Amino acid sequence: MNGAQKRLDKLFTFNIPILIMLMFTVFPLYWTINTAFKHEGDILKRPLQYVPASPTIENFVSAWTNVGFATYFKNSLIVGICTVVIVIILSILSGYALARYRFKGKRAFLLMLLCTQFIPRSMLIIPLFIVFKHLGLISHPLSLILTYAAVEIPFTTVLMNGFISNVPRELEEAAMIDGCNRMQALRYVIFPLLVPGIVATSVFTFIYTWNEFLLALMLTNQQGRFTLPVGLSYMMGEFNINYGALAAGSVIALIPAVILFSYAQKHLVNGLGGAVKG
């Protein structure tokens, strides 16, 4: 192949496909942002404005104050943060047990974790509703926090097991010889070395809670308790949809997930590579 042929080849096997791919992924995001910044009258106006003619933030103001996104945002944040804290603490403990101890029932525990990955999530909606109904926790943030934590713990435990196994055992032994007990060694020696792994795990757990819909829909029935996905869905189902506020609300819901994701996506490819290989 000469130079011109090579360039042509690259154009068709690389440049054009990657451009199409990027257009396909980015355009829906762009269109939502575009809609969010249009005046209500402009959204329906023909010809469609591919760039807002006179950008406005009125949709954001109305989504945040009138439609209830401030409440949904707060609810999602509470559920997300509490779930992350529980998941991280419990999965460090169980990951530590897996990484550092041989014990009877270890295989059974691992098998149990594996089984959970094959549980269809939709199977949970009816029985969990009944469980939380009996506990009197329907529409209480705890119902979502406990459910999400239980769903996430198996995967994060396996991740933590991997991260902890990477910390040399000698470091811990040295600390214990220097007078630390096991908990102190865990707290002062292992924990600081785990920070990058903990951050990545927290991000993925948080994104899951931020995005989960079906269980949240089933377990909350008061508008004041809606998380963002339930609130958005509720708004989509209304008879007179305020498209500007809907788009603005979506952008608000989008921002934390996208920021966290961009930060952690490198870990994602590398971490998954490790998880699949190991």
Partner 1 sequence: MRLQEKLDLNVISPEQSKPRKKFKTEKWIPYLFILPSTLMVVAFLFYPIGTVFYYSLQNYNLAAPFYDSFAGFDNFIKIFTEDKFFFPSLLTTLKWVVSQVGLQLIFGMIAAILLNKTFKFRGLVRAAAFIPWAISGVLASVMWSLMYNEHMGVINDMLMRLGIIHENQAWLANNSTAFISVVIAELWRGIPFFAITLLASLQSIPEELYEAARVDGAGRWKSFIFVTIPQLKNTIILTTLLRVIWEFNNVDLIFNLTGGGPAGSTTTLTMYIAKQAIHGSNFGYGSALTVISFGILLTFAIVYLKITRFEREEG
| Positions in 208-237 near partner 1 (CB under 8 A) | 210-214, 217-218, 228-230, 232-233, 236
Choice from 63, 67, 79, 128 touching partner 1 (CB under 8 A): 128
Which residues, 6+ apart, have CB-to-CB distance to 236 below 8 Å?
246
Give the nearer residue to partner 1 in terms of CB position, either 4 or 276: 276
By CB under 8 A, the residues from 100 to 119 that bind partner 1 are 100-101, 103, 105-106, 109, 112-113, 116-119
By CB under 8 A, the residues from 72 to 101 that bind partner 1 are 90-91, 93-94, 96-98, 100-101
Closest contact distance (angstroms) between CB of 5 and partner 1 is 14
Closest contact distance (angstroms) between CB of 139 and partner 1 is 14
Closest contact distance (angstroms) between CB of 72 and partner 1 is 11
The 248-267 site mask, x for binding partner 1 (CB under 8 A), equals --x--xx--xx-xxx--xx-
Q: Considering the rule CB under 8 A, would residue 198 count as an interface residue with partner 1? A: no
State the Cα–Cα distance between residues 210 and 40, nearest whole angstrom: 28
Choice from 125, 137, 180, 193 touching partner 1 (CB under 8 A): 125
Question: Which window, 51-59, 62-70, 191-199, 246-254, contacts partner 1 (CB under 8 A)?
Answer: 246-254
Choice from 4, 44, 51, 53 touching partner 1 (CB under 8 A): 44
Question: Which window, 46-54, 60-68, 77-85, 188-196, contacts partner 1 (CB under 8 A)?
Answer: 46-54
Closest contact distance (angstroms) between CB of 64 and partner 1 is 16
Choice from 6, 7, 74, 133 touching partner 1 (CB under 8 A): 133
Q: Considering the rule CB under 8 A, would residue 65 count as an interface residue with partner 1? A: no
**SS3 track for the chain:** CCHHHHHHHHHHHHHHHHHHHHHHHHHHHHHHHHHHCCCHHHHHCCCCCCCCCCCCCHHHHHHHHCCCHHHHHHHHHHHHHHHHHHHHHHHHHHHHHHHHCCCCCHHHHHHHHHHHCCCCHHHHHHHHHHHHHHHCCCCCHHHHHHHHHHHHHHHHHHHHHHHHHCCCHHHHHHHHHCCCCHHHHHHHHHHHHHHHHHHHHHHHHHHHHHHCCHHHHHHCCCHHHCCHHHHHHHHHCCCCCCHHHHHHHHHHHHHHHHHHHHHHHHHHHHHHHHHHHC
Q: Considering the rule CB under 8 A, would residue 17 count as an interface residue with partner 1? A: yes
State the Cα–Cα distance between residues 60 and 110, nearest whole angstrom: 47
